[in-house]
Amino acid sequence: MREIPSTLLLGCLGGDESCWQELIRLTGGHLQRIARVNLRDPSLTDDVLQETYFKVFRNLHRLRDREKARSWIVQILVNECRMMNRKTKREDQSQGEESLSYVFAATGNSRGRAETREVLVRLLYELPEIYREVLVMREVEGMDYLEIARALRVPIGTVRSRLARARAMWVAAAGEAVEEGQLLDLCLEGGDSVA
């Protein structure tokens, strides 16, 4: 996600609707990707984004350090994803059924690509929440350690250790997926089999 210019934030604070629209345009794709991988039910991505932006609208005037706007918005999104996951988990439990679907909106061209994406999302989703969040921010969005620490409100050392632990679990899970023949792309693209 590109940096959010201070002038844009000032425009938003001044009530300029076109600035709000530009803010959503700048941050939307980034937030959408994080939400899709972090949500139990990715079809709820729009709902979570809507709630996130609503909270940004309501609380932007409280943001003291405008340079941290990006991390701040991601932090709100992560909290919303956690809340939504808790809610869907409760609903699943009350219905007495396991409805984890791993549906992922595929926009790729080939069927193979869509399947690979689905497997990759599942690999990420199967990690515990605290590891998944940090891994998605780093690997999918390319956020640096400091930004991740701000977004998750944890010390940077915690980000480093969570990331290392997450990657260890991730690589192991990918190895199993390759063994089961679910992730052939990794052999082709990586030049070396994960298994």
Partner 1 sequence: MLLNDYLKRQISEYADDVLDLESTRQVSDFIESNPEAEAYFRRLQALRRLTFSHLGREEEDSTLEIRMMNALRLRSYDRTWWERFFERRILSPRAALATAFAVFLLVMFLFAWAETPVSHFLTATRAEVEQLREETTTSLSERGGELTESLIELITPPSDENGTKDQVGCILRERTNAV
Question: Quick one: which of 6, 50, 93, 99 contacts partner 1 (CB under 8 A)?
Answer: 50
- Residues of the chain by 3-state class (helix, strand, coil), percent to 5: 75, 0, 25
Interface with partner 1, residue 54, by CB under 8 A: yes
What is the rounded CA–CA span in Å between residue 189 and residue 167?
18
- CB 178 within 8 Å of CB 189: no
Angle at 166 between CA 177 and CA 52, to 5 degrees: 105
Interface with partner 1, residue 109, by CB under 8 A: no
Least distance to partner 1, CB of residue 96, Å: 32
Interface with partner 1, residue 155, by CB under 8 A: no
What is the rounded CA–CA span in Å between residue 117 and residue 105?
9
Interface with partner 1, residue 182, by CB under 8 A: no
Least distance to partner 1, CB of residue 74, Å: 15
**What sign does the CA torsion over 47, 48, 52, 53 have?**
negative
Interface with partner 1, residue 192, by CB under 8 A: yes
Question: Quick one: which of 2, 58, 64, 111 contacts partner 1 (CB under 8 A)?
Answer: 58
**What sign does the CA torsion over 151, 157, 159, 160 have?**
positive
Map the footprint of partner 1 across residues 63-102, applying CB under 8 A: none
What is the rounded CA–CA span in Å between residue 195 and residue 186?
10
Smaller CB distance to partner 1: residue 14 or 96? 14
Interface with partner 1, residue 190, by CB under 8 A: yes
User: Would you give the end-to-end CA distance of the chain in angstroms?
Assistant: 33
Smaller CB distance to partner 1: residue 65 or 189? 189
Tokens of 74: 């991601």
Interface with partner 1, residue 128, by CB under 8 A: no
Smaller CB distance to partner 1: residue 91 or 157? 157
What is the rounded CA–CA span in Å between residue 104 and residue 17?
32
Footprint on this chain of partner 1 (rule: CB under 8 A): 13-15, 17, 20-22, 24-25, 28-29, 32-33, 37, 46, 49-50, 53-54, 57-58, 60-61, 107-108, 113, 116-117, 120-121, 124, 138-142, 145, 160-161, 163-165, 167-168, 170-171, 174-175, 183, 185-186, 189-192, 194
